[in-house]
Structure 1
């Protein structure tokens, strides 16, 4: 009888141990399942980023593309003029723009499309615009430009007519009664004009802004703007309706994305000197992975 009791005790002990092991295994498997659930299940769904052909917009966009692709995301980037960018986002034809100059410079676009868009973050928080000249030019204020019309051939070299700074420059010409004409070109063409004049130490006025690599490459100054035609802005990150709701993991990354001035200049310079912006952005990303990954939620890493 004692032998039988011993056998029953042993049997019960075995059953208890087996049950414990089964419970532990289930718990372990459940934990693994939970970890898997935390990963972004929508990586294969394309993320469409539109950007204006401006130095900072190119930099923000291609850095985001490099970082997201490194984590397995499918990213498409497309350059467009600002007007079509806002219209496309409002219609839901694309997902995101990282270089919306708000609340002032792009106010016309925001008034037209803002009720169909969502501002979720800031790529850069200290944006400024204005009329820019080399430091060697002995003019310091927009209000004094009419005393030097011949020196500048009556020209202010601008960028595309769709840019907010183009509109504000036309406003400045009117507000200050300037006897100048704004020459419409593009960002690269304007920079080429600056380089030609700077190399010869000739007078030149351009429509400039920060952030831009021009401030790292040349010794420049803003002309004083006593009428405050050119206000301060942020480079905002704007999305189509419901983007963050539908893509919450990616949305967290863009909400956290924010660059400080010197690092942004460093990135813009690298891109400007490279044949391919994405290649340069990937190299910069690899050198600054700790920074960029600090913007990523755990589900993305």
Structure 2
């Protein structure tokens, strides 16, 4: 825990002096990649780190930050890139604020979505059934970090569907997954803020609740975003990130699931992924 707060402290110091951070790095081969501590972002960011360190000899610093800081640090030049932009809905507000200060580097993966999800043994099929069954969920929807886009959209859904008997409880990605695991172990009803790709759908039989009002948005994609000047300063990094993508969401979910296995390391899992998917990896280096 102390190490995590130390990393976050360093990140804050970098934002306070954005011009100095990247300028100093130009002398060497150091890159800063920011991400929110979501399982999909952890997996894809560590894969970027593995590629850039193995293929190009860079030193890649991964900085876990809040959703807002992820965008503002790239926009200010304090960080070089991120590969966790959910558009067009989840991160719409943040992208609108900084779109003239960042460079879109293309799609990482399609088929992404947000929603409220339940284990398959929960018989409900739609969000509009939640209010009448609030007691079975102990009056709560288990959420993640308060600043996440899905939390904002879920709050909107509660208003749209006039749900008053369920409270959206903030937490984190890991705490949400832990609550889900415990509920499934004891066969209790639970509803969580969920997104795809996510390893939970590979591990447990689950389903999204229908959202007829589209309060949580429709299908999305995950995009890569770079700072201004990245192409000039690090053309090979810019080219790689422009090509870097998954063929489908199941590839990313597989990597995410590996990271959940006890005693594993995300960078080592990324290297394993590269070894097992040579054709995909080769496509990232096409000119």
Q: Among 252, 262, 267, which residue is 1:264 paired with?
A: 252
Alpha-carbon distance in 1 for matches of 2:277, 2:54: 13
Alpha-carbon distance in 1 for matches of 2:241, 2:71: 18
Task: Compute the displacement of 1:241 (Å).
Answer: 1.3
Preserved CA contact (<8 Å) 2:110 2:249: no
Alpha-carbon distance in 2 for matches of 1:276, 1:115: 36
1:160 partner SS: coil
Alpha-carbon distance in 1 for matches of 2:224, 2:254: 21
1:227 corresponds to which residue?
213
Q: Map Cα deviations across residues 131-157 of structure 1 (whole Å, 9 max, x no partner).
A: 000111011111111110101111000
1:149 partner SS: helix
Preserved CA contact (<8 Å) 1:127 1:234: yes
1:167 corresponds to which residue?
152
Q: Among 61, 68, 86, which residue is 1:101 paired with?
A: 86
Structure 2, unmatched stretches of 5+, are 1-25
Alpha-carbon distance in 1 for matches of 2:188, 2:68: 34
Task: Compute the displacement of 1:44 (Å).
Answer: 4.3
Preserved CA contact (<8 Å) 2:258 2:264: no
Task: Please show how residues 1-301 of structure 1 align to structure 2 within 5 Å.
Answer: 44-71=28-55, 72-179=57-164, 180-231=166-217, 232-259=219-246, 260-273=248-261, 274-297=263-286
TM-score when normalising by structure 2: 0.86
Structure 1, unmatched stretches of 5+, are 1-41
Preserved CA contact (<8 Å) 1:123 1:257: yes
Q: CA RMSD in A?
A: 1.5
Task: Compute the displacement of 1:111 (Å).
Answer: 1.9
1:182 partner SS: strand
Alpha-carbon distance in 2 for matches of 1:291, 1:210: 21
Over 3 Å counting, the alpha-carbon distance change for 1:43 and 1:195 in structure 2 is farther
List, as ranges, runs of 4+ consecutive aligned residues in structure 1 with deviation greater than 6 Å.
Answer: none
